[in-house]
Amino acid sequence: MPAERSQPHRPPGARPPAFRSIKIGVDTGGTFTDVVTMDGTVMKVPSTPENPGDAIRQGLARLGTVKVAYLAHGTTVATNAVLEGTLARVALLVTEGFGDLIEIGRQHRPSLADHFVDRPRPLVNRVDRLEVRERTFPDGVVETAPSLDLLPEIPEGVEAIAVCFLHADLNAEGESRVAEAYRARGWDVTASHELSPLFREFERASTTVMNAALRPRVRRYLEGLSGLAEQLWIMTSAGGMWPLAKALEAPVGLALSGPAGGVRAAAVVAAACGFPGAISLDMGGTSTDVCLITGGEPAPAAERDLVGHPVRLPSLDVVTIGAGGGSIGSIDSGGAVAVGPRSAGAVPGPVAYGRGGTEPTVTDANVALGRIPTEGSGALGDLDVAGAAAALSEAGLSAQGPVSYTHLRAHETVLDLVCRLLLEKKKKKYTKIYNNHIPHTHNSTTTSNLQS
């Protein structure tokens, strides 16, 4: 097993950061966690999926830092919670007669010609959708105000509450009163008018429920990091930074936190090199993220889908595919080379890492082909070239013969993604602000706060 590197990589002339107050940037990926200081010192440690904060603490400890003044963090905790289905159980309070809103959704179909395709499961079970007798007209005039004495009881086992009343984007008085009533009882409540005060009830309800479902897990994680620095700021899906308090209230805005940081950095580097128009390509251990950059700015999106559920908050228009360095290669039933979507992740990781991995990955293919340095490589020390080659051979992937493991690099998949991105986006014009993409409402101040 290769020995892990215990010392950080520092540029020539950089001094150890111990015994001084410094600024730190941390990016948690599926395979590695990178801890970077302002002078370019980098500590790369294997990610710890069970508790991502452990890897951050390990990285800081190896840097020898005693005091961190500012920590900027790109995290995948919210993303992983959605992908893994480890969301909190949520009760949804809606206007009477609209209990099935979150399930009916729009008429969009994932595949128009496929009669056997399944739509995403509703984020809230029917038993947890509670109707409240209240009504506001489309012009914002209240017909029936909710009675706080008749509010429904929350089912046992629910962890958080989402409130989304009809036309609350125009008049949130009733929704606000109900939300405050449940907060007074000790519940964690997300109200739609506070998070996404926009028309179209389904998208507003979906965004509100997703936020409520993410809060418990993301809150536990971020609060656990609060003692690592004097100031903790979190990268948002839009490529900006939120202070800890704001991130705790709106964790759904962190769903693309990790990829957004890579896109922002790529835009800055491309512009500095004289290329204001570019395509960022960020291949990590489990996925590859691509985004179009025009005029030095990444393309924005006012709404994104998370595993089939719309989330209407500003984000960067990042396209993701499941082809990364840790993607597992195999031979399919037709005898062709298949890559992904399964990944070796951080544990056990590629075979070459010597951490217990047995299935060949894209990284193993590149190691066996000599395309990756194998001595003193990154956080893992020397890589196991013989082990990588043996794993590829056992899977029927060899450099000789009709099947070559060079195809495991997944270049065709990534190239296809880039071509599709260009075809879809080349005629669109983007602005630096999102107001042109989002309808204005009476609560536009809240929207502006979330976009900052």
State residue 83's pLDDT score. 76
Report the Cα 206 to chain-centroid distance in Å.
17
Tokens of 294: 């025009």
pLDDT of residue 422: 59
Average pLDDT score over residue span 221-236:
92
pLDDT recorded at residue 364: 86
> Would you state the pLDDT for residue 117?
79
pLDDT at 340 over 50: yes
Long-range Cβ contacts of 335-341 (<8 Å, 24+ apart)? 335/403, 337/397, 337/403, 337/405, 337/407, 337/408, 339/407, 339/408, 339/410, 339/413, 340/410
Give the residue among 7, 10, 57 at the shortest CA–CA distance from 38.
10
pLDDT at 155: 96
The pLDDT tens digits for 401-421 are: 444 554 454 555 655 656 666
The predicted pLDDT at position 250 comes to 96
Residue 188 has a pLDDT of: 97
Q: Taking the CA atoms of the chain, what radius of gyration do you get in angstroms?
A: 24
166 neighbors 135 (Cβ within 8 angstroms): yes
Looking at mean pLDDT, say which of 10-24, 298-312, 328-342 comes out highest. 298-312
pLDDT at 429: 43
Backbone φ and ψ for 432, nearest 5 degrees, come out as -80, -10
User: For strand 288-294 and strand 319-321, is the pairing parallel, antiparallel, or unpaired?
Assistant: antiparallel
Tens of pLDDT, residue by residue over 298-322, are 999 999 888 889 999 999 998 877 6
Q: What is the mean pLDDT of residues 1-28?
A: 60
Which pLDDT band holds residue 175 (cuts at 50, 70, 90)?
very high
Structure token pair of residue 157: 């086992």
User: What does the alpha-carbon distance between residue 256 and residue 195 come to, in Å, rounded to a whole number?
Assistant: 17
Which residues on neighbouring strands pair with residue 130, listed in sequence order?
Answer: 93
Range among 82-91, 262-271, 388-397 rated most confident:
262-271
pLDDT in the model for residue 4: 45
Q: Which residues pair with 93 in a beta bridge?
A: 130, 163
pLDDT of residue 74: 92
Share of the chain above pLDDT 70, in %: 81
Rounded CA separation 244/319 (Å): 27
Torsions phi, psi for 25 (to 5 deg): -115, 135
Of the pLDDT bands very low, low, confident and very high (cuts 50, 70, 90), residue 207 is very high
Q: Are 326 and 361 in contact (CB under 8 A)?
A: yes
Distance, CA of 399 to CA of 295 (rounded, Å): 43
pLDDT tens digits, one per residue of 414-441: 556 566 665 565 444 443 333 344 443 4
Asked if residue 171 has pLDDT above 60, the reply is yes
**Range among 11-15, 343-347, 362-366, 446-450 rated most confident:** 362-366
Between 430 and 346, whose confidence is greater?
346
The 3-state DSSP class for residue 337 equals strand
Question: Is 395's pLDDT higher than 80?
Answer: yes
Greater confidence (404 vs 110) lies with 110
DSSP 3-state of 452: coil
Quote the CA–CA distance of 356 and 358 in Å, as a whole number. Answer: 6
| pTM exceeds 0.75, yes or no | yes
pLDDT digits (tens, 9 = 90+) for 368-381: 888 788 776 555 67
d(CA 236, CA 249): 13
For residue 228, pLDDT beyond 80: yes
Beta strands in 168-308 (DSSP E): 189-191, 231-235, 241-243, 278-283, 288-294, 297-298, 300-301, 304-306
The residue-averaged pLDDT of 115-131 equals 90
Domain ranges of the chain: 87-207, 274-321+413-451, 327-409
Return d(Cα 447, Cα 323) in angstroms, integer: 34
